[in-house]
Chain A
Amino acid sequence: MRSNLATPIALLLFIALICWGTFDLRKSGAGRKDTVTLAGSTSVMPFSEKLAEYFMLSHPRLSVEVQGGGSSAGIQATINRTVDIGMSSRNLKDDEKVHKQILICYDGISIIVHPSNPVRDISLDQIQKVYSGRIRNWRELGWIDRNIDAVSREEGSGTRGAFEELVMGKAFIDDGIMVQDSNGSVKEVVATDPYAIGYISLGIVDQKVKALTIDGVIPSVRNIIQQKYGMVRPFLYLTATEPAGAVKVFIDFVLSRDGQNILRKEGLVPIRG
């Protein structure tokens, strides 16, 4: 009976000790030469992850860690030097100054609807009207009498910032429009709601949703390169200092032909032809 309390507590402490023992309190991340940390735009994140996967295969002694947080957070993290590389899916504002901005690729913004939606084309003006609340019914776009379930991203999102810049102009996005906090969840909503419309990164469009043509132009990598499709934003890697060591190796990889090919395969627009 005496040991009844001692045993579980001892066990707990023992486990804790084991964990501590296998743990290493040295800061991982910025500082250690063998890990490169990235943080920022959730649009860029999955592609950085993909690049990291390939990179680590060919560089077994280096590791790359990718976090989200959003473009604004990524920019801040770069300025504060809490990460090696910040990721942004929009251009920097005037008051955001970092040492170096590296363009790694372009990404289109695609307007998506449910695959069963018969509408196939939309004009820039119509998109603006839908998102500012002036067009509310699918009837006005050539379909049935049913409210449009429009989905947007949240304030602070790089994708939303780019969308507002490229499409909305001075108009505000209507406050009756639903909001999801990542490209993936916007896509998921549109994929399951036949009456939904949304905007996501072109790079993640797949058969679960249907991408609309904008004023007749198909959203595709080729059309972006040929500058026919205008809804494009830059994916940027930001650094606070001149890239060196493992960071430079990784960035060089991303900008190399291999890295750019990976991005092209993922549906992004590489910077080199």
Chain B
Amino acid sequence: MRLNPRFTDKFIRGALLFQALFTVSILVFIVFIVFIKGAANITPQFIFSYPEDMGRHGGIFPAILGTVFLAVLSIALATPLGVGTAIYLTEYTKESTLTRIIRFGVESLAGIPSIIYGLFGFIFFVIKLKLGWSLLSGTLTIMIMVLPTIIRTAEEAIKAVPRNLRIVSFSLGATKWETVTKVVLPSAAPGILTGIMLSVGRAVSETAAVIFTMGSSLRLPTSLLDSGRTMAVHFYILAREGISLEKAYATALVLVVSILLINIAAYYTMNKMIGRYS
């Protein structure tokens, strides 16, 4: 007995809708749970004071700053490299074996899992370069990690800039570099910023690569060679060792909210870009 196709149609539509809603509800559940269980502990004290008794009491200030330092520094290093690569690939060369090799390199970097970055960062920065478990080791490792994302988004953004703009700029007598910096980059800026913010999100939530390069010291890192924690690392340790479930949820909440804010900012700038060209 064949089912009425119209009926299957409606049924499938319902089933697919259910799947979509189920997926979204997982997200809602996660945010909800973290919020419910963590909100009670979010006090100004929590944000601004230091952890005591291995994190059982006190706040997570060093972890917050550790996260900020790591994210800002690694992005600051990765952005010039990434945008430079993107500029080179789009403005200065045509598609050739060379560009294909470079793109292959970028894609490969993008596919490497974070534990391998952790392994590499550990053996190279921490041990061989004798930087030890430090902010510097962590920064350099995360910098390499986010590089592909920045390159990809920067390339997309730069490619999206209409050719006319460049032609007009040249016809007015500008050099290539002047065109790039004064015409192309400003137009591509929102897209590039989106890539930067996505990378920040990645740096903030990364754990495996950070724990083996930056370490897990509870102190606030005051120099590049000091070890420290990021919020993700702190949360991981709190949760696994059962040190304090409440503090763990609270840390998770701060983490999730930060990522939420970063995503919102990324979307805002991306929409600015789309608005410009639609």
Contacts and interface: CB of A to CB of B under 8 A. Distances in A.
A–B contact via C-beta, under 8 angstroms: yes
Interface of A: 1-6, 8-9, 12-13, 15-16, 19, 22-29, 46, 49-50, 53, 63, 65-68, 82, 180, 182-185, 187-188, 191, 208
A19 B72 contact: yes
Contacts of B72: 12, 15-16, 19
A interface secondary structure, majority: helix
Contacts of B190: 4
A187 B223 contact: no
Contact of A12 (B79, B132, B219, B242): B79
B242 A184 contact: yes
Contacts of B224: 23, 25
A74 B225 CA distance: 19
B226 interface: yes
B217 A66 contact: yes
Contacts of A49: 54, 218
Given A12-B72, A15-B72, A16-B73, A67 B227 contact: yes
A165 B222 CA distance: 42
A68 B216 contact: yes
A27 B181 CA distance: 38
B33 to A, nearest CB: 17
Given A19-B73, A25-B224, A65-B219, A184 B243 contact: yes
B215 A23 contact: no
A8 B193 contact: yes
A58 B81 CA distance: 48
A141 B130 CA distance: 51
Contact of A16 (B76, B240, B243): B76
B186 interface: yes
Contacts of A23: 222-224
A9 B188 CA distance: 13
Contacts of A185: 240-242
Nearest to A14: B76
A53 B193 CA distance: 43
Given A1-B186, A19-B69, A23-B222, A67 B242 contact: no
A187 B242 contact: yes
B217 to A, nearest CB: 6
B189 interface: yes
A9 B227 CA distance: 27
A188 B241 contact: yes
Interface in B171-197: 181-182, 185-190, 192-193, 196
B123 to A, nearest CB: 14
B237 to A, nearest CB: 8
A8 B181 CA distance: 14
A12 B75 contact: yes
Contact of A24 (B52, B218, B219, B222): B222
A188 B225 CA distance: 33
A27 B132 CA distance: 10
Nearest to B126: A82
B189 A13 contact: no
Nearest to A180: B240
A23 B130 CA distance: 19
B133 interface: yes
Given A82-B130, A183-B241, A188-B240, 4 more contacts: A5-B181, A5-B188, A25-B225, A53-B52
B242 A191 contact: yes
Given A4-B186, A12-B76, A184-B243, A24 B223 contact: yes
B133 A28 contact: no
Nearest to A68: B216
Which residue of A27, A49, A187 has the most chain B CB atoms within 10 A of its CB atom? A27
Contacts of B132: 29, 82
A4 B222 contact: no
A26 B223 contact: yes
A29 B215 CA distance: 14
B52 to A, nearest CB: 8
B223 A15 contact: no
A182 B79 contact: no
A23 B72 CA distance: 14
17 contacts: A5-B185, A8-B196, A12-B75, A15-B72, A16-B72, A19-B69, A23-B222, A24-B223, A25-B225, A26-B223, A29-B132, A49-B54, A67-B215, A180-B240, A182-B240, A185-B241, A188-B240
The listed residue with most B CB atoms (<10 A of its CB), out of A22, A180, A188, A208, is A188
A2 B215 contact: no
A2 B53 CA distance: 51
The 3 A-B pairs of least Cβ separation, nearest first, read: A184-B241, A188-B242, A16-B76
A6 B227 CA distance: 32
